[in-house]
Amino acid sequence: MTSSGAARHRCIYEARFPDDLARVRALFEEYAAGLGIDLGFQGFAEELAGLPGRYARPTGGVWLAVAGDAVVGCIALRPLDAERAEVKRLYVRPALRGSGAGRALAERALAAAAGAGYRRVLLDTLPSMTGAIALYRSLGFAEVAAYYHNPVPDTLYLGRELP
Protein backbone atom coordinates (compact mmCIF):
# COMPACT_ATOMS: atom_id res chain seq x y z
CA MET A 1 0.00 0.00 0.00
CA THR A 2 1.07 3.53 -0.62
CA SER A 3 1.11 6.29 1.92
CA SER A 4 -1.79 8.11 0.27
CA GLY A 5 -5.06 8.11 2.19
CA ALA A 6 -6.89 6.71 -0.83
CA ALA A 7 -4.96 3.45 -0.62
CA ARG A 8 -5.04 2.90 3.14
CA HIS A 9 -8.61 1.73 3.67
CA ARG A 10 -8.89 -1.93 2.76
CA CYS A 11 -12.16 -3.61 3.74
CA ILE A 12 -15.63 -3.26 5.17
CA TYR A 13 -17.19 -5.98 7.29
CA GLU A 14 -20.43 -6.39 9.18
CA ALA A 15 -19.98 -6.09 12.93
CA ARG A 16 -20.63 -9.23 14.95
CA PHE A 17 -22.12 -8.89 18.40
CA PRO A 18 -20.86 -9.37 21.04
CA ASP A 19 -17.42 -9.82 19.39
CA ASP A 20 -17.23 -6.29 17.96
CA LEU A 21 -19.20 -4.55 20.71
CA ALA A 22 -16.20 -2.69 22.18
CA ARG A 23 -15.04 -1.53 18.73
CA VAL A 24 -18.50 -0.30 17.74
CA ARG A 25 -19.03 1.43 21.05
CA ALA A 26 -15.61 3.17 20.82
CA LEU A 27 -16.32 4.44 17.30
CA PHE A 28 -19.83 5.61 18.20
CA GLU A 29 -18.39 7.48 21.21
CA GLU A 30 -15.69 9.11 19.04
CA TYR A 31 -18.38 10.10 16.56
CA ALA A 32 -20.50 11.70 19.29
CA ALA A 33 -17.54 13.49 20.87
CA GLY A 34 -16.61 15.01 17.51
CA LEU A 35 -20.07 16.50 17.01
CA GLY A 36 -19.79 18.90 19.89
CA ILE A 37 -23.47 18.45 20.80
CA ASP A 38 -25.27 16.34 23.36
CA LEU A 39 -27.02 13.37 21.73
CA GLY A 40 -29.19 12.76 24.78
CA PHE A 41 -32.29 13.71 22.76
CA GLN A 42 -31.60 10.62 20.62
CA GLY A 43 -31.25 8.30 23.62
CA PHE A 44 -27.56 7.88 22.83
CA ALA A 45 -26.53 6.47 26.24
CA GLU A 46 -29.31 3.87 25.99
CA GLU A 47 -28.28 3.10 22.41
CA LEU A 48 -24.70 2.39 23.52
CA ALA A 49 -25.84 0.30 26.48
CA GLY A 50 -28.16 -1.81 24.33
CA LEU A 51 -26.05 -2.41 21.21
CA PRO A 52 -26.88 -3.77 18.70
CA GLY A 53 -30.46 -2.83 19.67
CA ARG A 54 -32.37 -1.42 16.69
CA TYR A 55 -29.30 -1.98 14.50
CA ALA A 56 -29.67 -5.77 14.82
CA ARG A 57 -30.13 -7.94 11.76
CA PRO A 58 -32.24 -8.69 9.80
CA THR A 59 -33.75 -5.18 9.74
CA GLY A 60 -30.56 -3.25 10.51
CA GLY A 61 -26.82 -3.61 10.71
CA VAL A 62 -23.50 -2.06 11.70
CA TRP A 63 -20.48 -2.12 9.40
CA LEU A 64 -16.86 -1.39 10.20
CA ALA A 65 -14.02 -0.14 7.99
CA VAL A 66 -10.57 -1.64 8.51
CA ALA A 67 -7.16 -0.27 7.56
CA GLY A 68 -4.19 -2.43 8.42
CA ASP A 69 -5.01 -3.98 11.78
CA ALA A 70 -7.19 -1.08 12.94
CA VAL A 71 -10.91 -0.50 12.77
CA VAL A 72 -11.15 3.07 11.48
CA GLY A 73 -14.78 3.77 10.69
CA CYS A 74 -18.39 2.72 11.04
CA ILE A 75 -21.93 3.15 9.80
CA ALA A 76 -25.23 1.81 11.07
CA LEU A 77 -28.69 1.17 9.65
CA ARG A 78 -31.95 0.83 11.54
CA PRO A 79 -35.60 0.55 10.56
CA LEU A 80 -37.99 3.46 10.73
CA ASP A 81 -40.90 1.40 9.41
CA ALA A 82 -41.42 -1.42 6.90
CA GLU A 83 -40.42 0.73 3.91
CA ARG A 84 -37.91 3.22 5.36
CA ALA A 85 -34.55 2.80 7.05
CA GLU A 86 -32.31 5.35 8.69
CA VAL A 87 -28.55 5.63 8.24
CA LYS A 88 -26.80 6.58 11.47
CA ARG A 89 -23.31 7.05 12.89
CA LEU A 90 -21.25 7.36 9.70
CA TYR A 91 -17.81 8.04 11.11
CA VAL A 92 -14.26 7.72 9.81
CA ARG A 93 -11.32 8.52 12.04
CA PRO A 94 -9.67 11.80 10.96
CA ALA A 95 -6.46 10.22 9.62
CA LEU A 96 -8.48 8.16 7.12
CA ARG A 97 -10.91 10.80 5.92
CA GLY A 98 -10.67 11.10 2.16
CA SER A 99 -9.51 7.48 1.85
CA GLY A 100 -12.77 6.17 0.39
CA ALA A 101 -13.74 4.48 3.65
CA GLY A 102 -16.81 6.69 4.14
CA ARG A 103 -18.06 6.00 0.62
CA ALA A 104 -17.47 2.26 1.00
CA LEU A 105 -19.34 2.23 4.33
CA ALA A 106 -22.27 4.22 2.92
CA GLU A 107 -22.49 2.03 -0.19
CA ARG A 108 -22.51 -1.10 1.99
CA ALA A 109 -25.32 0.28 4.17
CA LEU A 110 -27.36 1.29 1.10
CA ALA A 111 -26.93 -2.16 -0.44
CA ALA A 112 -28.01 -3.78 2.83
CA ALA A 113 -31.06 -1.52 3.02
CA ALA A 114 -32.08 -2.43 -0.51
CA GLY A 115 -31.45 -6.11 0.22
CA ALA A 116 -33.67 -5.90 3.30
CA GLY A 117 -36.52 -4.59 1.15
CA TYR A 118 -36.52 -0.95 2.20
CA ARG A 119 -37.70 1.50 -0.45
CA ARG A 120 -36.22 4.68 1.02
CA VAL A 121 -33.29 5.65 3.23
CA LEU A 122 -33.23 8.76 5.41
CA LEU A 123 -30.63 10.47 7.57
CA ASP A 124 -29.96 13.68 9.40
CA THR A 125 -26.71 15.59 9.57
CA LEU A 126 -25.26 18.89 10.65
CA PRO A 127 -24.37 21.70 8.23
CA SER A 128 -20.80 21.65 9.61
CA MET A 129 -20.29 18.10 8.28
CA THR A 130 -19.51 19.32 4.77
CA GLY A 131 -17.55 16.25 3.72
CA ALA A 132 -20.36 13.92 4.74
CA ILE A 133 -22.96 16.10 3.02
CA ALA A 134 -20.96 16.05 -0.21
CA LEU A 135 -20.68 12.26 0.04
CA TYR A 136 -24.40 11.85 0.65
CA ARG A 137 -25.28 14.11 -2.28
CA SER A 138 -22.91 12.17 -4.55
CA LEU A 139 -24.81 9.01 -3.55
CA GLY A 140 -28.13 10.52 -4.62
CA PHE A 141 -29.39 11.95 -1.34
CA ALA A 142 -31.40 15.17 -1.45
CA GLU A 143 -33.01 17.36 1.20
CA VAL A 144 -36.33 16.09 2.57
CA ALA A 145 -38.78 17.26 5.20
CA ALA A 146 -37.90 16.54 8.82
CA TYR A 147 -38.93 13.00 9.69
CA TYR A 148 -38.41 13.38 13.44
CA HIS A 149 -37.82 16.20 15.91
CA ASN A 150 -34.18 17.16 16.27
CA PRO A 151 -33.61 20.15 18.58
CA VAL A 152 -30.24 21.00 16.99
CA PRO A 153 -30.63 24.18 14.93
CA ASP A 154 -30.18 23.89 11.15
CA THR A 155 -30.19 20.08 11.09
CA LEU A 156 -30.32 18.82 7.51
CA TYR A 157 -32.60 15.92 6.66
CA LEU A 158 -31.63 13.93 3.58
CA GLY A 159 -33.18 10.97 1.82
CA ARG A 160 -33.08 8.86 -1.29
CA GLU A 161 -35.10 6.13 -2.94
CA LEU A 162 -33.61 2.66 -3.29
CA PRO A 163 -33.69 0.55 -6.44
Q: What is the largest CA-CA distance in the chain?
A: 44
**Integer Cα distance of 50 and 46 in angstroms:** 6
Q: Are 31 and 89 in contact (CB under 8 A)?
A: yes
- Please tell me whether the overall predicted TM-score, pTM, comes out greater than 0.85 for this model: yes
For 25, left (φ over 0), alpha (ψ -120 to 50), or beta? alpha
pLDDT at 36: 86
pLDDT tens sequence for the chain (163 residues): 334 444 455 799 999 999 999 999 999 999 999 988 889 888 999 999 999 999 999 999 999 999 988 999 999 999 999 999 999 999 999 999 989 999 999 999 999 999 999 999 999 999 999 999 999 999 999 999 999 999 998 999 999 999 9
**3-class SS at 122?**
strand
For residue 94, the enclosing domain spans 5-161
pLDDT at 71: 94
pLDDT at 24: 98
Number of domains the chain is built from: 1
pLDDT at 122: 99
3-state SS string for 93-114: CHHHCCCCHHHHHHHHHHHHHH
The CATH number of the domain holding residue 71 is 3.40.630.30
Residue 87 has phi, psi (to 5 degrees) of -90, 130
Cα distances from 52 to residues 42, 66, 132, in angstroms, run: 15, 19, 23
pLDDT at 86: 98
Q: Are 144 and 123 in contact (CB under 8 A)?
A: no
pLDDT at 37: 87
**Integer Cα distance of 36 and 30 in angstroms:** 11
pLDDT digits (tens, 9 = 90+) for 103-138: 999 999 999 999 999 999 999 999 999 999 999 999
